[in-house]
A and B are shown apart, each in its own frame.
Chain A
Amino acid sequence: MSDVVGGGAPRVGGLDRVTGRQAYVADIPVEDVLHVKLVTLPVARARIGRIDDTAACAIPGVRIVMSAKDLPDPMPRFGPQRRDRPVIAIGETKYHGDPVAAVAAETKDAAEEGARLVRVDYEELPAAHTLATALAHDAALVQDPSLRPDDPHAGTNVLHEHRHSWGDIDSATADVVVEGTYQFPMVTQFAIEPHAFMAAPDGDGIAVWSAIQHPNWLQRVIAELLRLPLAKVRIHAPDPGGAFGGKQHAKYEPLLAFMALATGRPVRLVLTLEETFQAVRRGAAQVHVRTGFQRDGTLVFRDVEANYQIGAYADIADRTVAKGSYTSMGPYRTPSVRIVARSVLSHTVPSTAFRGFGNPQQIWAVESNMNEAARVLDIDPLELRLKNLARPGDEFIPGDTPADGDWAVAVRRAAAMIDWGTPPPAGRGRGIAVGLKSGPTTGLSYSTVRLLVDGSVVVYAGTSDMGQGARTIFAQIAADELGAPLEWVTVVSGDTAVVPYDQQTSASRSSVFMGTAVQRACRDIQAKVRSMAATLEGVDEGDVTVERGRVRIGQQVMDIPDVVKRGLGRLGGEIIGIGEMRKEAEPDHTLGGTAAFYEFNCTAVEVEVDRETGDISIPRYVTVSDVGRALNPLQVRGQDEGAAVMGLGHTLMEHYIWDDAGRIRNLGAIDYRIPTSMDLPASMESDIVENGDGPGPYGSKGMSEGALLPVSPAVAAAVTDATGAVIRDLPRSPERVWQPLHERGASEASR
C-alpha cells in the first residue's frame, strides 16, 4: 500500500471541528426561520381528547399549532419496516414523550410559551411498559389488531417472532448443559448533538435538513408522504454530532415538512436532550440461554430464547432483533442451534438501531453463558473459546458466508496482552469474551469522482460522516488511486441534490461499500487515462498500465495529472468516473442476504472489586479487532476505544428508570449517567489484526461496532473471577455487585 491508505491521514473536516466552524443542523443560519416546540403529555399512554390551542395562538409570534386534525386524513404514517408511525400522535399517545401537537413561532421563547399553553384533554390508559406487562395474557395492546390483518400475533404485543435453527437440538446429547437468563438494560444513544431538523419550501418542492444517517431513505419517506417526485425533495444531511444508529431513520422530519408547507416558511426543531431520550433508544432484552457441551468442552448445541423489548412503533427495531439474534451461536462451530427471538411492542420510546444492532444484548447473554460454562466444565475460558472457534473458511452458519477471518489470532493476541494464564494481582480478576456481528446483508452505493485538470479531485459520496471519519477514508482512497496529494481531494456528501444515491450509513459498511464505489470510480478514471495515454503516446491501450497514480508505458512512467493535463488539451475539462458497489438481496436467506463480512473482536479485562461497596475499577483493558486492513489506523483506534468506553456505559451505569405508570424518571443528563474521562480504565490498549482478508478496498472490513460487542461479558467474567459472584443483570452498578457479596458475607457469618 502507499503511504496514503494505511497512513495517518488527518481527518477530513478536522480543522472545522477544532475551530468551531463545523455547522451542525442547529448551527446553520436560515433567514426567516420559525422555531418549533413539541407538546407532549406527562403520561405514557392516553386517549387524546380535545386539543385547545386558543391561548397558544394568542401568544405574539406563534404562527401555527399543528396536531392530528391539521394533517391529511387518513393520517400519513411511515417507518422503515412497517408504516406504523403517525406524523403526530392520533387518538392515543403510545409512550411518554409521544408528541400530540407542535407549535411554530417567530422566536424560541414564543414557541415554548405557546407549547406550554396548548391545552390537551386526555384520559390516561393502562400502559404495558415492561416486558412482563407487555407479554401478559391480558396486556394492553400497543398496536390496534385491525392494523395487523392475517398476523397470528395480532392479538398480542409480539410484533414478530424470529426463528432460526439447524441440526437437531432435541436429539442432541450433551454431557453438561449450562443454562441462565440474562437481562440487558434499556439504554439510549445519547449523541452529544441532540437531534435537530429543519424543513423549508424549496421552489415547487421541499428541502429538509436533518442529521440523518440515511439521506436517501429519508428522501423516499418525505416524497411518499408529500406525494412529491424524489427530484423535488432535497435532503441536506450535515455531519451528525454523533449518531450511533439513533439517526438512521426519520423521526420528526415528516412533521417539520408538513409544518413548512403549512406556514410557507422554514421551520426548525432542535430537541432537548430529554426529548432525544424520548425519541431513540436501544431495545432491552431478556435472553434465556441453554448450551450443551461434551465433557471436553466441545459445543453440542445452543438453545436461545430472547425477548427484546422494543417500543411503541417498529422503526427498525424488529430488524435489530432478527439480525442481533441470528448470530446467537457466536463465532463457534455449533452442531445444533435453535434461536427464537421475539420483538415485543411496549408503551415505551420506540427503540431503533444502536451500535451493535441487537447483538450486544445476546452477546451479553451467550458469552456470559460461555464463561459460566468454563467454570462448570473447569476449562480455561480462553481454551474453551479456542476449542470451538470457527476456523477460516468454516461455514459456521449453514448457508451463510464462511468465517472470513483467522479469529483465533485476535483471541490469542488479546489473551497475551492481558497476561492471560498468569495469576492476576491479589484482589483482581480477569475476564475475556468475544463478539461477532454479521455485517451488511445487502447494499448499494454509488460514487462519482471528478479528476480536475490540475490533478485535484472531487469525490461525491453519500455516506454520513458522523464521526467515524468516512470522508477521510474516501479521500485517502482517491488520493491513492489517482496520485493526488491528500489535501487536493475534496469529498462532497450530505446533499441528495448533488451526491449520488447511497443506500445507508449503517452496519459499519461504508469503507467496504462506499469505499469500493469510490475505488471503482477512480479506476473508471484510470481506464480513461489509459486510453488517453495510449492516444497521446501513439501506443496500444494494452501497452499502458495505470495504477496508484502512475501511468506506465514500458519503461516510461508518468504521473496521472501530467497525462491528464496534456490529454485534456486546450479546452481543459475533467475526467469523470463512476463507481458502484452492490450486494443483491437473497430472498431465500433468513436475513435476506448473507453477511458481506463479519465484525470480530476479542476483549479482555482486569478488574478490581471493592467487596464492601461493590465498586468496580478497571486497571487494565484490552480490545483487539480483526479489521482486515486498517485504512486509517488513527481512526480505527478511535472507533475501537470509543466503542469500548460506550460499552462500559451500559455495562456499569446506564439504564432508563421508569415509574409505575410508564414515565421515564431519569430524563436528561443528571440521572442518566454515561462514562466521563474519570471513568476510563486505568490502562486501555487496543490492537488490530490485519490479514487483508476483507471484501473492502485493500482487504478491509467494517469495524466500528465490534469493540462494543463483548464489553459486558468480559467485565462480568472478570468480576466473577475476582469475587465468585455471578451477576446476570446489567448495568453492574456498585449496588448490584455489592448485593450478592453482602448476602454471601451475611450467610457465611451466620454459619
Chain B
Amino acid sequence: MTTRIDLTVNGRARSVDVEPHHTLLEMLRDDLGLTGTKECCLVGECGACTVIVDGQSVDSCLVLGVEAAGAAVTTVEGLAVGDRLDPLQEAFLETGAAQCGFCIPGQLISARALLDELPHPTRTEIEEGLAGNLCRCAGYEQIMEAVELAASRGRGAEAAPHHAVSGGVDVASTPDARVAPQ
C-alpha cells in the first residue's frame, strides 16, 4: 500500500507514491531516479547515503521515505546550481579528493552541512564532522584539505541556497534555521 507524500527535493516540489517500509534512500534512488545518493552499509555506519533533510545531514538508509513528508531534501544532485558547482565540489576536484568517487556524494553532503553550521571549522571539527563518511580509497587527507579549501573561500555571496527550502520560505540564509522546523 503506497502513501502519497509531498516534499521538496533539491528545491523542486515532488509528489511520490512511496511504500511505508521503503527508506528515503530507496525512494530517492528507485522512485525519483536520483542515484547520486549511494547505498552501502544500510546501518548508518558508512554515510554513503547521506542527504540533508530540513537543514540537517542524515543517513537516508535510516529514514523512512514517508518520514520525509513535507521536508526539504538536498542530495548531491542539488549542490550545483545549473552548471555552477558548489565551492566544495570545486575544491574536491582541485585537491584530488575524489578517487573511485563512490563515497564522494555523501562526503560532499556532510561537508556542506558542516560548513553551513560552521563556516570556518578547525581541522578537528572537519575530521569529526566527516567521521560518519567512510572512504576506503582513504583519500581522507585530500578530502579534509578540500573542505578546508572550500571553507577558506567561503560560500560566495552570490551562491544560491541549496537546501532548507521549506514551505516555500527560504530559510537557508539565516543561521538559526538549521535546526529542523518543529
Contacts and interface: CB of A to CB of B under 8 A. Distances in A.
A–B direct contact (CB < 8 Å): yes
Interface of A: 8, 10-11, 13-24, 26-27, 29, 108-109, 189-194, 239-244, 270, 272-273, 466-469, 634-635, 637-638, 641-646, 668-670, 674-678, 680, 684
Contacts of A22: 101
B108 interface: yes
B100 A466 contact: yes
B122 to A, nearest CB: 13
B38 interface: yes
B169 interface: no
Interface string B99-130: 11111110010000000000000000011101
Contact of B99 (A469, A668, A677): A469
A61 to B, nearest CB: 13
A670 B46 CA distance: 9
A17 B41 CA distance: 20
Interface stretch (B62-70, B72-80, B155-163, B171-179): B72-80
A190 B138 CA distance: 11
Contact of B98 (A18, A108, A678, A680): A18
Nearest to B30: A108
B105 A20 contact: yes
B6 interface: no
Contacts of B75: 20
Interface in B28-73: 29-30, 33-43, 45-46, 48
A26 B25 CA distance: 13
Nearest to A18: B89
Contacts of B132: 676
Contact of B141 (A241, A467, A680): A680
A331 B34 CA distance: 50
A193 B40 contact: yes
B167 interface: no
A193 B134 CA distance: 11
A676 B137 contact: no
Contacts of A644: 138
B131 interface: yes
12 contacts: A11-B98, A14-B93, A16-B101, A109-B21, A192-B100, A193-B102, A242-B102, A467-B137, A637-B142, A638-B137, A677-B131, A684-B141
B85 interface: yes
Contact of A27 (B35, B43, B128): B35
Given A18-B89, A680-B141, 20 more contacts: A21-B36, A190-B136, A192-B46, A192-B48, A239-B100, A241-B100, A241-B102, A242-B136, A273-B41, A634-B95, A637-B141, A638-B142, A642-B138, A645-B138, A668-B41, A668-B45, A674-B134, A675-B138, A677-B143, A677-B144
Nearest to A673: B45
Complex A-B, nearest 5 residue pairs according to Cβ-Cβ distance, in ascending order: A20-B36, A241-B102, A467-B100, A17-B101, A645-B138
B37 A192 contact: no
B121 to A, nearest CB: 12
Interface of B: 19, 21, 26, 29-30, 33-43, 45-46, 48, 75-77, 79-80, 85, 89, 92-96, 98-105, 108, 126-128, 130-144
A388 B36 CA distance: 51
Among B29, B39, B96, B131: residue with most chain A CB under 10 A? B96
Contacts of A29: 33
Contacts of B38: 24, 192-193, 241
Nearest to A634: B96
Contacts of B37: 20
Contacts of A241: 38, 100-103
B33 A192 contact: no
B4 to A, nearest CB: 18
A669 B93 contact: no
Contacts, number: 164
Contact of A14 (B40, B98, B128): B98
Contact of A191 (B89, B130, B136): B136
A19 B89 contact: yes
B108 A18 contact: yes
Nearest to B135: A192
Main secondary structure of the interface of B (DSSP, over half): loop
A337 B141 CA distance: 40
A23 B140 contact: no
Given A273-B42, A674-B136, A677-B127, A109 B19 contact: yes
Contacts of A17: 98, 101, 104
Given A192-B134, A677-B144, A670 B43 contact: yes
Contact of B136 (A8, A13, A646): A646
Contacts of B139: 638, 641-642
A642 B137 contact: yes
Nearest to A276: B40
A674 B135 CA distance: 9
Given A193-B40, A194-B40, A18 B102 contact: no
Contacts of A637: 96, 141-142
A192 B103 contact: yes
Given A10-B93, A15-B93, A678-B131, A273 B40 contact: yes
Given A19-B77, A241-B101, A469-B99, A668 B136 contact: no
A8 B45 CA distance: 33
B99 A192 contact: no
Given A674-B136, A677-B144, A669 B101 contact: no
Nearest to B105: A20
A675 B38 CA distance: 19
Nearest to B89: A18
Contacts of A11: 93, 96, 98
Contacts of B36: 19-21
B136 A192 contact: yes
A670 B59 CA distance: 14
A296 B43 CA distance: 55
A167 to B, nearest CB: 39
Nearest to A466: B100
Given A190-B136, A669-B45, A669-B46, A18 B104 contact: yes
Nearest to A242: B100
A501 B179 CA distance: 54
B46 A677 contact: no
Contacts of A24: 38, 102
Nearest to A686: B141
Contacts of B105: 20
B94 to A, nearest CB: 8
Nearest to A23: B35
Contact of A642 (B42, B76, B99, B144): B99
Among A8, A239, A467: residue with most chain B CB under 10 A? A467
A13 B96 CA distance: 11
B131 A240 contact: no
Contacts of B140: 641, 645, 675, 677, 680
Contacts of B133: 677
Given A678-B127, A684-B141, A272 B42 contact: yes
B77 A13 contact: no
A239 B102 CA distance: 10
A24 B34 CA distance: 13
B137 A20 contact: no
A510 B96 CA distance: 19
Contacts of B131: 676-678
A273 B135 CA distance: 14
Contacts of A469: 99
A27 B75 CA distance: 15
A193 B100 contact: yes
B141 to A, nearest CB: 5
A635 B100 contact: no
A551 B21 CA distance: 65
Nearest to A196: B39
A192 B93 contact: no
Contacts of A14: 92-93, 98
A637 B138 CA distance: 11
A19 B134 contact: no
Contacts of A8: 96
A650 to B, nearest CB: 12
